[in-house]
Chain A
Amino acid sequence: MELSEYFSQLFSDYTLRTITLGTAILGAICGMLGSFAVLRKQSLLGDAISHAALPGIAIGFLIREYQIDPLEKVSVLGRVFNKIVTVIQWVLDLFGGGTNTLLIGALISGVLGTFLIRGIINRTHLKTDTALGLVLSLFFGFGILLLTFIQKQPNANQAGLDKYLFGQAATLVESDVILMASVTGVCLVILLLFWKEFKILLFDADYTKTLGFNTRFIDILITFFIVLAIVLGLQTVGVVLMSAMLLAPAAAARQWTNKLSVMIVLAAIFGAFSGVFGTAISASQNNLSTGPVIVLVTGVFVAFSFIFSPGRGILFKQIRVYKNRRDLKLQKTLQFMFDIAKMHNDISHPHAIKILNNFQGYTRGTLKELEEKEWVAVQGQKWSMTEKGYDAAANLYNTN
């Protein structure tokens, strides 16, 4: 399928429409919440959580496929766990999510992982990076153990498990999209309700505390939504690449603005477009999973923003450096001329251009530019300083 074909079929074809809508919404919510992750310096939390969700998915799978409650028999805790599952399931049903046990499992184990990360950072001297790496790899390893265990079971229906590893947007169905849209909606409402609190916590956590806000609650609220977004995205983008989905749109948006609201909106737009373009490209080629393509598209957004954003971009920064350097050269030449002119009673006494040759800042270009600014007058092989140039040179260090 060609790209143009994809776009012409976008509105008529049910599957394409669902997938595109799904990835667009996913990109938007990830961009939105990713902004918080990036600004809170929790960029890699997403990576850790998406990996930590794996054992939850596997346990969810066990519960769904075999109708067994491995925990119920074990302890009271197991029964409490199952009650929680039932309640979350009920809430999800309310949003039209269907009975998605895998998602609930992923959510619970993601949240558990987050708490463990916090516990390790707060209670021991291990640093953030170690805590993230530990939770990421240990949970994932346990998940792999469970998965391979499941795969060896007779009659295991493994379809649906594999897609969580690498993501397959093609498996998105309408109920998934509805679920994503509802979560995005709830998230937006919460974001608007707690806008002031989120913002102040982001930039000055201590001040927030002194103002009497419950920082713990706000903190947990943000983190919970980040976990939720990750869990929703697993099916589409996969465990490994989910973190990029969260980070990249936000990192790109950050380059264009210093305002939180603008950044969130931009990140959501970047995310949504990455989703659509990524789906379009992967649908128009054979053998391309959606996840990697979406990630590369977000990568293009990031690279473009890094280079071309007017305020912080590398290109404009370089141009500014170059311009400053030229201005400095010009000023140095002017200063040198000023020192010579100062020694004469008549400031516009002509001097040979030759004497400038030993001076570093001097080039033909700078002389020409000085002449254009009417700071010096050039006649043949001689230059003389004008009244304007003299004033400018005298005030050189006062104005800047």
Chain B
Amino acid sequence: MAVTGLGLVSPLGIGVEATWRTLSEGGGPAPSAGPYGGSRAEVREVAGFDPRAHFAIPKALKLTDRRTRFAVAAAREALADAGLAGPLAEPARVGVVIGSSGSDLMAEEIAGVLRGEGSPGSVQEIPWFASRMLAGLNPLWLLINLPNMVSAHVAIQVGAQGPNTTVMTDWVAGLQAVGEGCAWIESGEADLVVTGGAETASLPFVFGAYEAAGLFEAFPEREGPFVFGEGAGMLLLEEAGRAERRGARVHALIDGYGAAGSVSDDGGRDAVEVAVLEALEAAGTGPGEVDAVGLASVLSRRPYGAERDGLARALAGREREIPLHAYSPRTGFALGASGAIDLVLLVKSLAAQAGAGRALCTSIGYSGQAASVAVRRQGETP
């Protein structure tokens, strides 16, 4: 599977080149307490982003949340990068599959509706809650916040009429979307697939839930604070032969994908080990051939124990000699978009480093899911 287009919106820049430059030069915005002061977690936000510049149909902006705007911008960049900036020749053959942990639900608006004049109601009183919400929220609220709207709006804005799905597996959603996109092309459902992940850091419900669950305190101090990121990473996929026929530049080839969940039996293999081994097997290769591992990790300094242990087993002892690329210390950890953002950067780094021909990108979810994508530079023997 050929990756012929890349698109990126990140706290380090708007666009792949801008992000890559900031990453290479060592700059970038300092993390802030963001909208959630007083917690151990920090936030890196996208700055200077003008969604209007990326929307072919500006009126649709009122139907989109922040993550969707990032997704549209990155998707358009990926298509343009693949030489497909204009109207698509066969719209029904172009699919869109994007991973995201969900909408921010416009919490401010919900809070505003619920504050209202002294009602005794609570959200447990469903009739009160529903009537109050329905009366007080703009009827477009649902259209903006439905989880699948991120892929729907990308399709509308780029004119992609093929299969359209949103993957909602939280931290592993971005990489699972890429795996799904590859499967669509392999099964003949689509010729081109716009895929990746999109997320906003303005997620008060998520933040509140993580804090309540003690997630921010769960890691040792030396591993650094949990740093939320945001943005979107998009890839344009097509079958390698098709890319060659139309003379497209190929950034890299994806030749393996694995996804797994955890089982409670302590004697079993954990999800990251299964996912990595599946991806390597699908690629017809093994740990000995891996030159780099990209790890979409939640932490700002180093992967946490479970990530390290699972990788160590899958890589059969080579984990210390294989360079580990963890971009989230710089970009922030963008939940459902993290795997896709990291994959875009990993593909970019494969092109930049003469020595590395084969890499793995891996995501691990806090609910025990994991996904892994095997990627290699074109021309490297599989």
Q: Do A and B come from one complex?
A: no
